[in-house]
């Protein structure tokens, strides 16, 4: 996934719930014309939005606060987890650096290992970012519904 795809994939949920600025919309739409993967993500988020809006209509008023509190708790609970994952990845990188400096491995092996660790680190961040994006989108949808006086 390119850096541009990474940026656009983070913006797609916000495009779907119509909260992007005009410049961000242009960026996303411009990228979508040439990227089937990101277009697929857009379709997935649009489908989720349709499914959620149907479910929102069926919720009873007294369940809204409980649902909203639950969603917020999950989002807040992931923030420390993200920090722990990043700290663990950094520890692995530091351990690799120390090992390379100790003469136990050649610089070529170290660079290969470091590249693999860096790729895993990126994958962890991307996965966590994707989960957080979805949860933030649900959180935003619930807030918007409440602010607009919708019965959820």
Residues 48 and 69 in one domain: no
- Assess whether 69 and 54 both reside in one domain: no
Which residues make Cβ contacts (< 8 Å) with residue 24, sequence separation at least 6? 11, 14, 15
Give me the domain span that covers residue 123. Answer: 61-152
**30 and 94 fall within a common domain:** no
Query: What's the predicted TM-score (pTM) here?
Result: 0.41
**Structurally, how many domains does the chain consist of?**
2
Residues 129, 65 share a domain? yes
Q: Is there a single domain that holds both residue 98 and residue 76?
A: yes
Instruction: Write 70-79 long-range contacts (CB < 8 A, 24+).
Output: 71/135, 71/138, 71/139, 71/142, 72/139, 74/135, 75/132, 75/135, 75/136, 75/139, 78/128, 78/131, 78/132, 78/135
Provide the pLDDT for residue 68.
Answer: 65
Same domain assignment for residues 42 and 3: yes
Mean pLDDT, the chain, as a whole number?
71
Do 52 and 21 lie in a common domain?
yes
Asked whether the predicted pLDDT for residue 127 surpasses 70, the reply is no
Does one domain contain both 92 and 143? yes
77 and 138 in one domain?
Answer: yes
Taking only the tens place, the pLDDT of each residue in 32-71 is 999 999 999 899 888 888 777 666 566 666 566 676 667 6
Does pLDDT of 98 surpass 60?
no
Pair (52, 92) in one structural domain: no
Share of the chain above pLDDT 90, in %: 13
For the record, the structure tokens of 143 come out as: 């807030």
Q: Are residues 89 and 104 in the same domain?
A: yes
Has residue 99 got a pLDDT over 50? no
Domain boundary among 12, 39, 58: 58
């Amino acid at each position: 996934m390119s850096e541009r795809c990474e940026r656009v994939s983070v913006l797609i949920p916000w495009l779907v719930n119509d909260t992007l600025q005009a410049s961000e919309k242009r960026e996303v739409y411009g990228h979508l014309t040439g990227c089937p993967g990101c277009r697929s993500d857009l379709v997935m988020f649009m489908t989720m939005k349709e499914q959620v809006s149907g479910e929102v209509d069926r919720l009873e008023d007294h369940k809204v606060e409980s649902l909203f509190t639950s969603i917020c708790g999950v989002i807040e609970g992931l923030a420390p987890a993200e920090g722990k994952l990043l700290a663990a990845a950094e520890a692995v990188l530091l351990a690799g650096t120390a090992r390379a400096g100790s003469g136990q491995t050649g610089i070529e092996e170290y660079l290969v290992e470091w590249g693999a660790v860096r790729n895993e680190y990126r994958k962890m961040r991307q996965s966590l970012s994707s989960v957080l994006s979805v949860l933030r989108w649900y959180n935003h949808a619930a807030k918007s519904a409440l602010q607009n006086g919708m019965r959820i």
